[in-house]
């Protein structure tokens, strides 16, 4: 069990089960608040063997150092972070992925997750990650021919990989929502549920790669779909990108954890950013993650519950 302290009290987390307990009756002095963000995503590589037009990942070659990432996760663990998510690019193209995940699991109490297109998963890779990865998110943008047009890969192969992964790991499905995928949310949810996934994360397309973000009408349709799914008591937990929930009633057990206290992203060059889409960042370098975090916090607009 991991304990984190912050403006909302004491947060107890079990990475094996995903159980979260927030004891908000406890008032924690600011000096005792955990120093690290609650969750951090780390791009291990910019490389990807797909070419989705809306992808935000930089297209220049860069690969994170195994030793650097290992040091960051140990520092994050000591600073009260609860979980790190490894992505990219495509993390299964990172040569040291199994070794990194094992190190992170054995040396810290962090929850380790991956975000992947899933096509490179094999029984061997699953065996190497078994017991050291706690959650896997699979990117599924539409179904059938829509998926194949966007991803350039077989939809049938995806379905097989998703079932293979969900048989061994708690699994979620991520879906970029745009004009092409908004009409397929029912099918994506059905696929996720039938494969054994437990969560559906909806990510309205943001401007990237020269493409505009999702039209406001698409976001409105997405929120209507979420309300209908919830009203129909669908089996999946539905998560929507922060700041885009509209009038959907959401559970927010940690309202005081805002900005960098909640989340930060590290790109494959070792640059720390507020989000993966942000142009602003600071290099971590040899000084360590928390020193870079303090500099980043000083350089952006103050937020409630911030680090200052």
User: Nearest CA to 297 among 306, 286, 284?
Assistant: 306
- Using DSSP's 3-state secondary structure scheme, residue 138 falls into strand
Determine the Cα–Cα distance for residues 105 and 107; give it in Å rounded to an integer: 6
Q: 70 - beta bridge partners?
A: none
For the chain, give every domain's residue range. Answer: 38-299
Answer with the residue of higher pLDDT: 1 or 39. 39
Q: Is the pLDDT of residue 305 over 50?
A: no
Residue 103 reports pLDDT greater than 60? yes
Q: Domain 38-299 carries which CATH code?
A: 3.20.20.70
- Among residues 85, 87, 103, which one has the least CA distance to residue 44? 87
Instruction: Inform me whether the pLDDT recorded for 16 exceeds 90.
Output: yes
Q: Read off the pLDDT of each residue in 97-114 and give the average, rounded to a whole number.
A: 98
Q: Which residues contact 278 (CB under 8 A, 6 or more apart)?
A: 265
In whole numbers, what is the pLDDT of the chain averaged over residues? Answer: 92
Q: Pick from 241, 135, 243: which is nearest to 196 by CA?
A: 135
The 10s digit of each residue's pLDDT in 140-163 is 999 999 999 999 999 999 999 999
Q: How far apart are CA 50 and CA 89, in angstroms?
A: 9
In this prediction, residues 33-52 reach a mean pLDDT of: 95
Q: What is the pLDDT of residue 153?
A: 96
pLDDT of residue 247 exceeding 90, the answer is no
Contacts (Cβ under 8 Å, ≥6 apart) of 216: none
56 or 159: which carries more pLDDT confidence? 159
Task: Provide, rounded to the nearest whole percent, the portion of the chain with pLDDT above 90.
Answer: 83
Diameter over CA atoms, the chain: 54
Per-residue burial over 246-282, b = 16 or more CB atoms within 10 Å of its CB, e = otherwise: eeeeeeeebeebebbbbbbbbbbebbbbbbbeeeebb
Residue position matching structure tokens 């078994």 = 130
What is the per-residue pLDDT for 243?
66
């Amino acid at each position: 069990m991991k304990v984190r302290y912050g403006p909302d009290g004491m947060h107890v987390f079990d990475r094996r089960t995903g159980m979260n307990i927030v004891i908000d009756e406890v008032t924690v002095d600011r000096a005792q608040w955990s120093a690290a963000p609650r969750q951090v995503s780390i791009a291990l590589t910019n490389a990807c063997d797909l070419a989705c037009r809306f992808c935000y990942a930089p297209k220049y070659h860069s690969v994170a150092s195994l030793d650097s990432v290992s040091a960051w996760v140990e520092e994050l663990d000591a600073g009260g972070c609860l979980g790190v998510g490894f992505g990219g690019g495509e993390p299964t193209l990172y040569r040291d992925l199994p070794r990194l995940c094992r190190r992170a699991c054995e040396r810290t109490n962090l929850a380790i997750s991956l975000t992947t297109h899933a096509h490179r998963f094999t029984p061997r890779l699953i065996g190497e990650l078994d017991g050291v990865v706690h959650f896997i998110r699979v990117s599924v943008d539409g179904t059938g021919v829509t998926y194949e047009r966007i991803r350039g890969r077989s939809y049938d192969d995806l379905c097989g990989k998703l079932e293979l992964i969900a048989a061994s790991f708690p699994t979620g499905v991520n879906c970029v929502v745009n004009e092409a995928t908004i009409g397929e949310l029912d099918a994506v949810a059905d696929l996720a549920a039938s494969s054994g996934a437990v969560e559906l994360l909806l990510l309205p397309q943001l401007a990237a790669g020269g493409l505009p973000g999702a039209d406001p009408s698409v976001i409105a349709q997405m929120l209507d779909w979420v309300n209908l799914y919830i009203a129909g008591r669908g089996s999946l937990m539905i998560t929507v990108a922060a700041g885009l929930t509209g009038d959907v009633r959401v559970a927010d057990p940690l309202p005081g954890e805002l900005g960098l206290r909640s989340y930060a992203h590290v790109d494959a060059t070792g640059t720390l950013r507020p989000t993966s889409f942000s142009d602003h960042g600071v290099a971590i370098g040899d000084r360590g993650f928390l020193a870079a975090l303090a500099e980043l916090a000083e350089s952006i607009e103050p937020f409630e519950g911030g680090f200052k």
